[in-house]
Amino acid sequence: MATEQKSAFVTGGSGFIGRHLVRRLVADGWRVRALARSQASADAVADLGAEPVRGDLGDTGAMASGAEGCQVAFHLAAHLGQWGTPEEFERGNVTGTRNALAACEQAGVRRFVHCGTEAALMAGEPLVNVDETAPRRPDSKALYSATKARAEEAVIAANREGFETISVRPRFVWGADDTTLLPNILAMVKAGRFAWVDGGGHLTSITHVDNVVEGLLLAAGRGRPGEIYFVTDGEPVVFREFLSELISAKGVEPPTRSVPGWVARLAAPAVEGLWRVLPLKGEPPMTRFAYWVSAQECTLDISKARRELGYAPVVSKEQGLAELRATA
């Protein structure tokens, strides 16, 4: 008797994590449908072997149609970044997630796996070896953090019999075809706008994109309904050392300039205020969120994922850097 082919609906399938997830699902024999809000996104997911579903996070009907017949949904689409309007973050992260939940439940999806973030815990204090019991911070002054916290709250609250929801939280996602984080860092370095804060000697957890995908798939198969799981590359790294390795891997000389932490800490809210009030064009050179990410320790305990999911990194830091250098 033939085994039924597994099927998945993916939002954010043309993004960095999404491309790797779709590629892995297709390679593992899944039938994949992926939400695509533009023709370029539709072409990208089709090239990876997925069936494009035209629509966006505001189109519940399109998502319900796309998710019809799928056992699992992976919700990766989000409004990213350190800067933007409250409306943009609310629509992309909170309303969009609620719409995806409603659409997938309506379509009869059995399990909904959300790609969360440690940023949902960020409100100004370092995160030192934290686990999943640390509180979310929907009160954070950083819009990305606040809205991702509320999005995850909606995911966990939606868990019920017949519609199981799980959140997987990676930290500092990196890899060879990153189209967001590393390109932005390289642009700042080349423009002379990058500086270490207090020398950049603090610790941070990191997660190679293939390790994120591994965590998402394990959560889909083994995760406990209503639970949250951190996934990382394992041992934390020194922020400056690792970022310098990423920058060097792309053939760019790492910066040496550093600014005192107290200067950056005081400047961030002041600069944000100027950009809001005047308002000035583009993104401010320093924000609260940028300060937290670049100047404060963020180390995560992944023992729960190891224990309950059987999670272990599938790509080491050394392997990932070698791949990065090979594609420079």
Residues forming the active site: 144
Residue with tokens 């920058």: 247
Q: Distance between CA 95 and CA 56 in Å, rounded?
A: 12
Judge residue 211's burial from the number of C-beta atoms within 10 Å of its C-beta, 0-12 exposed, 13-18 middle, 19 or more buried: buried
Q: Distance between CA 92 and CA 79 in Å, rounded?
A: 5
- Residue 126 · residue 71 · CB < 8 Å: no
Residue with tokens 């072409």: 43
Q: Distance between CA 36 and CA 96 in Å, rounded?
A: 14
Residues 6+ apart with CB under 8 A from 189: 247, 252, 253, 254, 255
Q: Distance between CA 308 and CA 310 in Å, rounded?
A: 6
Q: Distance between CA 297 and CA 201 in Å, rounded?
A: 9
Q: Distance between CA 261 and CA 122 in Å, rounded?
A: 17
Q: Which of 142, 164, 100, 170 shows the shortest CA–CA distance to 289?
A: 142
Q: Which residues of 117-131 are buried (b: 16+ CB within 10 A; e: fewer)?
A: bbbbbbbbeebeebe
Q: Distance between CA 33 and CA 23 in Å, rounded?
A: 12
Six-digit token pair at 224?
């406990």
Q: Which helix (H) or strand (E) holds 229?
A: strand 228-230
